[in-house]
Amino acid sequence: MTYQEQVGQLAQMIAGHGGAWAGIGAESVVRMRLQNRFRSGVDIARYTAAIMRRDMAAYDADPAAYTQSLGCWHGFIGQQKLIAIKKHFGTTERRYLYLSGWMIAALRSEFGPLPDQSMHEKTSVPALIEELYTFLKQADARELGMMFRDLDSARQAGNQVDEQRLAQAIDNYQTHVVPIIADIDAGFGNAEATYLLAKKMIEAGACAIQIENQVSDEKQCGHQDGKVTVPHEDFLAKIRAVRYAFLELGVDDGIIVARTDSLGAGLTKQIAYSRTPGDLGDQYNAFLDCDEVADLATVNGDVIINRDGRLMRPKRLPSNLFQFREGTGADRCVLDCITALQNGADLLWIETEKPHIQQIAGMVDRIRKVIPNAKLVYNNSPSFNWTLNFRQQVYDLWASEGKDVAAYDRARLMSVDYDGTELAIEADEKIRTFQKDAAARAGIFHHLITLPTYHTAALSTDNLAREYFGEAGMLGYVLNVQRQEIRQGIACVKHQNMSGSDIGDDHKEYFAGEAALKAGGAHNTMNQFAA
């Protein structure tokens, strides 16, 4: 139904109440409804899940149609990201939000800054999802409100062409609400705890939940040492728990992203239960680093397993953890991924120690022999030194091709001395095309950066502090912040408008008519930024 049709229908309904509703404006109600399109988080989850499913199908047809996101640790940051995307690209298509457990731990925990080890309050995850969508919905209300004002101005000026154009723009309005891929870490407990938290996340609006195969109480950041994985059956129970949460809430298209940390995890807390040789538990145990037992009298209080008819003692550390054989990480990743997809996961996440397309592609090729349409979510992590990694990759490529690399010290390639060199330029080009190339070659459907806004907040604050508290004084703010906001058309230069002041004025006028005491009058200093 078009904007004008909605107004007409509502006007008839209001008229049916006689004089009792005479003070209610039909068009004002329609505007408020459009500004509050999503009634609940579950509505958002259903809407955004459908977007992701369409995007996944589009990627299957053409790997150039990959998707992207940035991690955001506050609703305002997510809002400004989507406003910027609409401003620069005219559409939010194939752009999502990522919610990082690392940033919740470091920035949102009531305990204060914490490492990424699932020690933060589990309820802070759905709370941030809800906050992000609150800010995105407010961005819709603000932008639509400005369109409504322009529509009123066109009417007052008698400009029917502009009036028709604006009405059509309102009918075709694209929301700032986009999918969030939300990090549930290792599930914060057993499968029941995972299910309960997943429900809270979905009720807040999450359409995609990422879960990893680490032990909950041993969980480490994917780029730290000491990671401990769980047997497949334990992980699959949690995948099923998340799926039950989606289905219970009626989000039938909900997305589960199964993350494996096996590439960097050399430890397990449990020996998997095996019923028959070659089953999933037996395959997991086959990766254990073991010593053959020749004499049972030499073992005391140890676990002994049967491997191909031989008694084997898995190597156990003083921490009571068992270790895997070195060099088995890629094989374990492949088995993890195939198993997860065969048991209800939709997308994969392989946590790697470096951004190397061929390394990722080698595993994806093996997975796709079993699951042809397997797709990855990939962390373009700030934990990688992208400059050094890609310069070393180019160095190694040149050396293998017989190209002279005598002018370069591989160990020092991060040095500023190399910034303008041919090698550095080629490395930067590979970084620029990494997402496109990896989407085409390595099955990466979604590229994200987990912690970008953590780093941008630190960098911009450092720059402002250096200038403002130094010789530049107030010019440090004016020159590098406010003037740049004005020159670049950053909406936040009118911070009162961004915070909802104009929306409040609209509501005051709806409720009180001419008696409304509005903030946006001639003496509002925000008018200084009209030009």
Q: In what order do the strands lie in the sheet with 310-314?
A: 290-292, 310-314, 305-307
First to last CA, the chain: 36
Q: Residue 270: exposed, middle, or buried by beta-carbon count in 10 A (0-12, 13-18, 19+)? A: middle
Contacts of 352 (CB under 8 A, 6+ apart): 263, 264, 359, 360
Residue 68 tokens read as: 């992207």
Q: Pick the catalytic residue from 72, 207, 221, 337.
A: 221
What is the Cα–Cα distance from 213 to 447, expressed in whole angstroms? 20
In the Cβ-directed half-sphere of 106, how many Cα atoms lie within 13 Å?
16
Place of tokens 């609209």: 506
337 catalytic residue (yes or no) = no
DSSP-based helix, strand, coil % in the chain, nearest 5: 55, 10, 35
Residue 93 tokens read as: 């298509």
Residue 439 tokens read as: 């989407």
Residue 182 bridge partners (DSSP): 99, 209
What is the Cα–Cα distance from 496 to 518, expressed in whole angstroms? 13
Contact 364, 374 (CB under 8 A): yes
Catalytic positions, written as ranges:
221
